[in-house]
Amino acid sequence: MNLLGNIIWLIFGGFAVFLEYMIVGFLLCLTIIGIPFGMQCFKIGFLTLSPFGRNVRDVPGNTGCLSTIFNIIWIFAGGVWVALTHLIFGIILAITIIGLPFAKQHFKLMSLSFTPFGKEIY
């Protein structure tokens, strides 16, 4: 079932979102300051490639104040808009019964794209 969901996800926009995250991640990695943020774009991008069957959780243990500072910078640099985009698509997809599994994936992506530092995908 996860394979079918991932295939449908890729056909209806998942691959385009993956490419967007990869391009932005590459552009952020061109500067030394942007490398941590680019790595988070890669992490989110690979999750958008196959979101079904994968989960997001907080990193066990103390992540320190650096991840908090980076999350604050991320939020103000555009994380809010990315999270709102996933929220809007999730709400639109949740209106239909067929779209509920895809809405759930957008909500998962929303939580990761709002504060990606200190989270891992398993």
pLDDT tens for each residue of 74-90: 999 989 999 999 999 99
pTM of the complete model: 0.88
Residue 61 banded pLDDT, cuts 50, 70, 90: confident
CB–CB of 15/49 below 8 Å?
yes
Q: Which of 16-30, 48-62, 97-111 has the lowest mean pLDDT?
A: 48-62
Nearest to 46 by CA among 94, 102, 113, 92: 113
CB–CB of 34/58 below 8 Å?
no
Dihedral sign, CA of 114, 94, 9, 20?
Answer: negative
Residue 64 confidence (pLDDT) above 90: no
Domain-wise residue ranges, the chain: 2-121
Residue 39 confidence (pLDDT) above 90: yes
pLDDT for 72 equals 94
CA distance linking residue 112 with residue 83, whole number of Å: 8
Residues in a beta bridge with 57? 120
